[in-house]
Amino acid sequence: CQYFYKRGIISPGNDTFDIDPEIETECIYVEPMLPLENGTLRKTPFNFTLDFHRLVTLKVTFKLKAINLQTIRQHELPDCYDFTLIIVFDNKAHSGRIKISLDNDIAIKECKDWHVSGSIQKNTHYMMIFDGFVILTCLASLILCTRSVIKGIHLQREFVTFFQHHYKKEVSFSDLMEFVNGWYIMIIVSDLLTIVGSTLKMEIQAKSLTSYDIC
| Same domain, yes or no: 101 and 9 | yes
Instruction: Give the residue with greater pLDDT, 212 vs 134.
Output: 134
Q: Report pLDDT for 115.
A: 64
**Is there a single domain that holds both residue 95 and residue 136?**
no
Mean pLDDT value across residues 104-120: 70
Q: Are residues 100 and 16 in the same domain?
A: yes
Contact 81, 67 (CB under 8 A): yes
151 and 174 in a single domain? The answer is yes
Of 154, 143, 152, 148, residue with least CA distance to 195: 143
Largest CA distance in the chain: 99
End-of-domain residue from the set 92, 110, 128:
110
User: Is 115 domain-assigned?
Assistant: no
Could you tell me if 130 and 196 lie in one domain? yes
Query: pLDDT value at position 189?
Result: 95
Q: Are residues 102 and 156 in the same domain?
A: no
Going by C-beta distance under 8 Å and a sequence separation of 6 or more, which residues neighbour residue 71? 77, 78, 79
* Per-residue confidence band for 113, with pLDDT thresholds at 50, 70 and 90: low
Together in a domain, 198 and 125 = yes
User: How many domains would you assign to the chain?
Assistant: 2
**pLDDT tens string 114-131:** 666 655 555 567 778 888
CA-based nearest residue to 63, from 83, 88, 37? 83
Query: Does residue 186 register a pLDDT over 90?
Result: yes
Same domain for 129 and 192, yes or no, is yes
- Give the full edge-to-edge strand order of the sheet including 99-110: 16-26, 2-11, 55-68, 79-90, 99-110
For residue 215, the model assigns a pLDDT of 46
* Pair (149, 200) in one structural domain: yes
Domain extent for 167: 120-206
Confidence of residue 149 (pLDDT cuts 50, 70, 90): very high
User: Looking at residue 96, what DSSP letter applies?
Assistant: S
CA 105 – CA 154 distance, rounded (Å): 51
Average pLDDT in the 46-59 region?
Answer: 76
Return all residues near 103 (Cβ < 8 A) that are at least 6 apart: 85, 86, 88
pTM above 0.75, yes or no: no
**Where is pLDDT greater, at 171 or 103?**
103
- 182 and 148 within one domain: yes
Most confident of the following: 64-68, 162-166, 185-189: 185-189
Task: Check if the beta carbon of residue 102 is closer than 8 Å to that of residue 85.
Answer: yes
In a domain, 37, yes or no: no
d(CA 10, CA 17): 4
Q: Is residue 214 part of a domain?
A: no
Contact yes or no for 215/204 (Cβ under 8 A) = yes
- Confidence check: pLDDT of 2 > 70: yes
